[in-house]
Amino acid sequence: MRKPPEINTGSMADISFLLLTFFLLTSSINTDKGIFRKLPPPADPTVKPADIKDRNIFTVLINKNDRLLVEGKPTDITMLRQQAKEFLSNPADNPELPEKKLEAIAMLGEYLVSKGVISIQNDRGTSYNMYIKVQNELTAAINELRDELAMNKFNRKFDELTDPDLINAVQKAIPISISEAEPVDIGGQQ
Number of residues near another protein (by CB under 8 A): 51
Q: How far is the CB of 135 from another protein (least distance, A)?
A: 7
Number of alpha carbons in the 13 Å side-chain half-sphere of residue 178: 20
Q: Which is nearer to another protein, 97 or 170 (CB)?
A: 170
Query: Binding string, 86-125, against another protein, x = CB under 8 A?
Result: ------------------------------------xxxx
How many degrees, rounded to 5, is the angle at CA 64 between CA 180 and CA 85? 45
Could you tell me which of 61, 87, 82 has the C-alpha nearest to residue 72?
61
- Contact indicator for 174, 144 with CB cutoff of 8 Å: no
When the beta carbons of 122 and 177 are compared against another protein, the nearer one is 122
| CA separation for the pair 110, 69 (Å, rounded) | 35
Q: Which of 59, 83, 135, 171 binds another protein (CB under 8 A)?
A: 135
At position 96, the amino acid (one-letter code) is: E
Distance CA 122, CA 46 (A): 25
Residue with smaller CB distance to another protein, 37 or 101: 37
Kindly state the smallest distance separating residue 126's Cβ from another protein, in Å. Answer: 4
Instruction: Report how far residue 157's alpha carbon sits from residue 97's, in angstroms, rounded to the nearest whole number.
Output: 26
First to last CA, the chain: 86
Q: Determine if 154 is a binding residue for another protein (CB under 8 A).
A: no
Considering only residues 3-62, where is the footprint of another protein by CB under 8 A?
9-10, 12-13, 15-17, 19-20, 23-24, 27-43
Nearer to another protein, 97 or 149 (CB): 149
Assess 183 for contact with another protein (CB under 8 A). Answer: yes
* Residue placing its CB nearer to another protein in the complex, 41 or 91: 41
83 Cβ neighbours under 8 A, 6+ residues apart: 58, 70, 71, 75
Cβ burial 156-176 (10 Å sphere, 16+ → b, else e): eebeebeeeebbebbeebbee
Judged by CB under 8 A, does residue 162 bind another protein? no
Interface ranges with another protein (CB under 8 A): 9-10, 12-13, 15-17, 19-20, 23-24, 27-43, 77-78, 122-129, 131-133, 135-136, 139-140, 143, 182-183, 185, 189-190
